[in-house]
Amino acid sequence: MAPEFLTAAWGFAALLLLIALRCPIALAMLVVGAAGYVHILDHWALLNYLKQSPWHLFANYTLSVIPLFILMGALAERGGLARDLFTAAQVLVGRRPGGMPMGVIAASAAFGAVCGSSVATTATFARAALPELLRTGTAPGFATATIAAGGTLGILIPPSVILVVYAISTEQNIAKLFMAAAIPGLIATVFYLIAVWLTARLRPELSPPAPALSPTERSAALRAVLPVLGIALLVVGGIYGGVFTPTESAAVGCVLVLALGLARRTLPWPEIRAALLATAETTAMIFAILLGAEVFNAFLALSQAPDLLAVWVTEQNFPPYGVMVALLVTYLILGAVMDELAMILLTLPVFFPVITALDFGLPTEELAIWFGMLVLVVVGVGLTAPPIGLNVFVVSAIARQVPISATYRGVLPFLAMDLLRLALVLAFPSLSLILVRWLT
Amino acid sequence: QEQVTLRLHHFLPAVSNVHRHFLQPWAQKVAADSQNRLRVQIFPAMQLGGAPPQLYDQARDGVVDIVWTLPGYTPGRFPRLEAFELPFIGHPRAAVNVQAVQKFSEAAAAEELRETHVIAAWGHDAGVIHTKREVKRMEDLQGLRLRFPTRQAGEALRALGAAPVGMPVPQVPEALAQGVIDGAVVPWEVVPSIRLHEAVRFHTEINHNPTFYIATMLLVMNRAKYAGLPADLRAILDANSGMVAARMAAPAWDVEGPKVEETARRRGNTIFELPAEESARWAQATQPVHQAWIGAMRERNIDGGALVEQAKALIAEFSR
Amino acid sequence: MQALARWLAILGGVVLIAASVLTVVSGLSRWWTSQPVRGDVELVSVAAGIAVMAAMPWGTARGSHIMVDSFTGWLPASVTGFIDRFWRFIWIQAFALLAWRMALGAQEAIRNGEQTMGLLGVPYGYAVAFGAFCFGLSALLSFKDSQ
Ligand code: NA
Ligand code: NA
């Protein structure tokens, strides 16, 4: 085995060990990356490398879309926009068995069309909808699982932070990736609705129908949701239509959500302050991981192992679909035990060149888009799959009275639907590509 | 006998023309001249981490041994070299610019390059305006968001009515895809490595002397690493430095550039050559950029006027 | 110290809102006058950098850095508590190292007059110094937590 592979393998082993030993992921990547950097070069190189690297990483126009979308989601949540969506959903579907959880899925999908983060979407509905679900009689584990699964729509439906990171690490077009994700995102929503419907059908005691609203309440709820839908349409349509850059659309979204909240007096200063603090918390978490990944990736590049691995895999003459399935299974396993953002940041430099070197009968750009959609599906699975499902953790952090094992049991029907969707997206690349082909 | 491997770091992918047609041949020549005792290992695409603006410091601080970078990525840091980057100073051919800038770096600009050992300094050929909308006259630039390579080219574009945005070359494809910019101003040579000819359909060339703009470039080495080389290897490196290395750089633009232009033409892109009268109009309109720069240099106790005259004289000397 | 971290996080959020407003104004200005706000892209980049730096101490104070506890769930709380204090101790070193190196980086950036690549040429040395301060504060907060 080449010494490069050995160095990188030790690095990965150390990383996984540290993560298993409760080391925060950002710290683990930073420490292992730094140690590897020093091992290959020397400590002066590392010390000098650190002088301005965090600044140039953080002060980046493209990445600025991440804190902006998080801020927009936090403001929307604090300003009651998420609740508006939920109430509207209650009006439309609340009277049927499973209607309320289905309403949460629909509202998560609508919110996902504005917000690019699954953590933000999950947190939003855990705060806004969970009390309503429990109040109207939905079983606790089913309610938390619905919110955790619905939260993945935050990234499955564009805009999506994961797709932004995918586009940046693979030098793909963000707008086209967002466009491509529309149909798989819609399928995800429909499948989750089916999962809820089936569960409610088989075990009606889990989700009795919600109390009826008066006609006045109904029309008020439907009126209240219009501005939110308008903002969603403007932000997403602006990106699709090429009127805004993603950063601009996030900025427009922030300003409009803030303005709407101020106009309706639902965003007094304490609420804004809470939104800003929530934004800071999520932003710090994500960028600490990005910083750790930057150092770890520099170490991997220095070891030259990723290039060699990519060359090695392409020389094995596996059939293309064999390689693809192997990579996706790897992702499902990695996604179950680690953070998804870190997972794709770590593995894309290795896997992406491997995939683009294979022949699936698609032009390189379409192949990259299709692979991005597949990565998005497995990332979504990893967000709710035990043992490490970030969305489940987020719900649990807010719904402390519901045991985490109950939530994990509740997500199983949703995971089954995810695997079905993965098979569909894999078998029919055109599901991911047809919109891009039409619209460009 | 002692063997030395030097790490060379730069920002373009390995398929780029400068990587293939200058850095690799140069590294091979150094290796051959030293019977493989002095090897240069090239790390493209910022693989060793950091952002392009950090490259110069990476060489200065010994994070890597050698970097290829553009002074334009660290504005304000190399004020004297900017004399070549002012509008309508440079020559449309790299063969001329490489020698003029190299000679300038040995004398007039030596002071600001003290922190590293300079292997070569050079300038590229005529920069081209690549846009989604055709640019045939000054008025067509009105409001166009164009990526600029150096601050002086940016000021020149602004003087012509465009809305310029500064960023390193590797960010251009994404910025174009997201609609952050409507086009980019770069020489032909770099176009394929960022797939620019696929993202835009119009190209405006300014092939007169002086041309609209050129950017200067540096190949610099960590000082301590240079001083620590065995004497015979240092002599081999020296023999492949300065004017020798600068002249080796020129074909990456003068030979490869026209090939790229042909590729764009075959794709069906529109290539427009700016007529002499229009070019003269642009030169007239960008004159205030010279005045502003000379004024800014005066504040730093640098005689900008004299530097401009020197730059012009060097271009004239080598274009004969 | 916690209060300072909270104050910085709010400041960072306000900077983000300001960047959003600037982006919207610049877009409108480009619509009407064909000229955006001069240097809007570099200002938004710098604002994002400041906001991220400002968020670090608060994220650290809230202990929000993601970690995985599924493999150590069977251990008694006293043991996992000890492990967590150990990692906080390592965070101190990491943050302190980053703060120290960025302080040097800031010093050099200010001395060299380094600026952003745009037309405005924002001298970013002071923002790097702010980043060093934020990492330093994060180190202190981790230290307080590990007690
Ligand atoms: Na979304
Ligand atoms: Na996971």
Residue A152 CA to ligand 1 center (angstroms) comes to 9
Written as six digits, the tokens of B6 are 């030097």
ipTM for the complex?
0.86
Alpha helices per DSSP H over B83-180: 94-106, 151-159, 172-177
Size of interface A-B (CB pairs under 8 A): 73
Number of C-beta neighbours around residue A431 at 10 A: 19
Number of C-beta neighbours around residue B7 at 10 A: 22
B161 HSE (CA, 13 A, CB side)? 13
φ/ψ of A95, rounded to 5, equals -85, -15
User: Judging by DSSP bridges, how do beta strands B128-131 and B183-186 pair with one another?
Assistant: antiparallel
The secondary structure element, H or E, covering residue B184 is strand B183-186
Counting every residue written for chain B, the total comes to 320
B167 and C115 in contact by Cβ < 8 A?
no
In this structure, are residues B155 and B213 in contact, taking their beta carbons and an 8 Å threshold? Answer: no
Comparing A135 with B217, the larger pLDDT belongs to B217
Range of the domain at C99: 1-68+75-145
Per-residue burial over A363-381, b = 16 or more CB atoms within 10 Å of its CB, e = otherwise: eebbbbbbbbbbbbbbbbb
Residue A80 CA to ligand 1 center (angstroms) comes to 18
φ/ψ of B131, rounded to 5, equals -140, 160
Q: Is B168 on the interface with C (CB under 8 A)?
A: yes
DSSP three-state, residue B199: helix
Written as six digits, the tokens of A205 are 């005691």
User: Judging by DSSP bridges, how do beta strands B145-148 and B183-186 pair with one another?
Assistant: parallel
Alpha-carbon distance B16 to B168, whole Å? 15
Looking up tokens 């070569």, which residue turns up?
A: B120
Number of domains in chain A: 1
Q: Encode pLDDT of C49-98 as tens digits.
A: 999 999 999 999 987 676 666 677 788 889 988 998 999 999 999 999 99
Which chains have at least 3 CB atom pairs separated by less than 8 Å from chain A? B, C
CA quadruple A176, A123, A292, A157: dihedral, nearest 10: -10
The secondary structure element, H or E, covering residue B217 is strand B216-221
In this structure, are residues A253 and A65 in contact, taking their beta carbons and an 8 Å threshold? Answer: no
Q: Encode pLDDT of B288-318 as tens digits.
A: 999 999 999 999 999 999 999 999 999 999 9
Counting every residue written for chain A, the total comes to 440
Looking up tokens 């750790």, which residue turns up?
A: A292
pLDDT tens for chain A, 440 residues long, are 577 778 888 988 898 899 888 888 789 989 999 999 999 888 888 888 898 889 999 998 878 888 887 888 888 888 888 778 777 767 776 677 788 898 889 888 987 887 777 877 887 788 778 877 887 788 999 999 999 999 999 899 987 878 877 876 777 777 788 889 999 999 999 999 999 999 999 998 888 777 777 888 888 888 888 888 888 778 777 766 667 777 888 899 899 999 999 998 889 999 999 999 988 988 898 788 889 888 887 887 788 776 676 667 667 778 889 889 888 988 888 777 666 776 776 678 778 888 887 889 899 889 999 999 999 999 999 899 877 778 887 788 777 688 888 898 999 999 999 999 999 999 999 999 999 888 77
Query: What one-letter code names the amino acid at A357?
Result: A
Of A30, A280, A388, nearest to C12 by CB-CB distance is A280
Comparing A278 with C31, the larger pLDDT belongs to A278
Written as six digits, the tokens of B210 are 């002086």
Alpha helices per DSSP H over chain B: 17-18, 24-33, 55-61, 94-106, 151-159, 172-177, 196-199, 223-227, 231-239, 243-249, 251-254, 256-266, 276-285, 287-299, 304-319
Number of domains in chain C: 1
Range of the domain at A190: 3-439
User: Angle at CA A114, nearest 5°, toward A113 and A118?
Assistant: 80
Of C44, C68, C87, nearest to A61 by CB-CB distance is C44
Sheet containing B66-69: order of strands: B38-43, B4-9, B66-69, B216-221, B117-123
The ligand minimizing its distance to the Cα of A253 is 1
Written as six digits, the tokens of C61 are 């104070």
The ligand minimizing its distance to the Cα of A339 is 2
Alpha-carbon distance A419 to A415, whole Å? 6
Among the listed residues A414, A375, A408, the one whose alpha carbon sits nearest the alpha carbon of residue A393: A408
A289 and C68 in contact by Cβ < 8 A?
no
Number of C-beta neighbours around residue B205 at 10 A: 18
User: Angle at CA C112, nearest 5°, toward C109 and C114?
Assistant: 55
C74: exposed, middle or buried (Cβ count in 10 Å: 0-12, 13-18, 19+): exposed
In this structure, are residues A120 and A74 in contact, taking their beta carbons and an 8 Å threshold? Answer: yes
Please tell me the distance in Å from B98's CA to the nearest CA on chain A: 30
In this structure, are residues B256 and B17 in contact, taking their beta carbons and an 8 Å threshold? Answer: yes
Enumerate the residues of chain A whose CB falls inside 8 A of the CB of residue C109: 52
Alpha-carbon Rg of chain C, whole angstroms?
A: 19
DSSP three-state, residue A188: helix
Q: Is the sign of the CA dihedral B120, B125, B126, B129 positive or negative?
A: negative
Among the listed residues C22, C49, C47, C48, the one whose alpha carbon sits nearest the alpha carbon of residue C36: C22
Number of C-beta neighbours around residue A410 at 10 A: 26
B166 and C117 in contact by Cβ < 8 A?
yes
Among the listed residues B313, B292, B298, B303, the one whose alpha carbon sits nearest the alpha carbon of residue B86: B292
Residue A33 CA to ligand 2 center (angstroms) comes to 21
In this structure, are residues B210 and B313 in contact, taking their beta carbons and an 8 Å threshold? Answer: no
Enumerate the residues of chain B whose CB falls inside 8 A of the CB of residue C115: 74-76
**For the residues of B18-32, what is the DSSP string, one character each?**
HIIIIIHHHHHHHHH
The ligand minimizing its distance to the Cα of C68 is 2
Query: What one-letter code names the amino acid at B319?
Result: S
Which A residues in the span 201-240 are in contact with B, Cβ-Cβ below 8 Å? none
Alpha-carbon distance A154 to B310, whole Å? 59
Alpha-carbon distance A82 to B77, whole Å? 49
User: Judging by DSSP bridges, how do beta strands B38-43 and B270-273 pair with one another?
Assistant: unpaired
Neighbours of ion ligand 2 (CB under 5 A): A 335, 382, 388
Look at residue A166 in the predicted model and tell me its pLDDT.
85
User: Judging by DSSP bridges, how do beta strands B216-221 and B117-123 pair with one another?
Assistant: antiparallel
Alpha-carbon distance A279 to A275, whole Å? 6
Which C residues in the span 1-40 are in contact with B, Cβ-Cβ below 8 Å? 30, 34-36
A55 and C70 in contact by Cβ < 8 A?
no
Which chains have at least 3 CB atom pairs separated by less than 8 Å from chain C? A, B
Of B73, B145, B158, nearest to C117 by CB-CB distance is B73
Strand partners, B146: B164, B183
Which C residues in the span 36-95 are in contact with B, Cβ-Cβ below 8 Å? 36, 41-42
Alpha-carbon distance B250 to A275, whole Å? 55
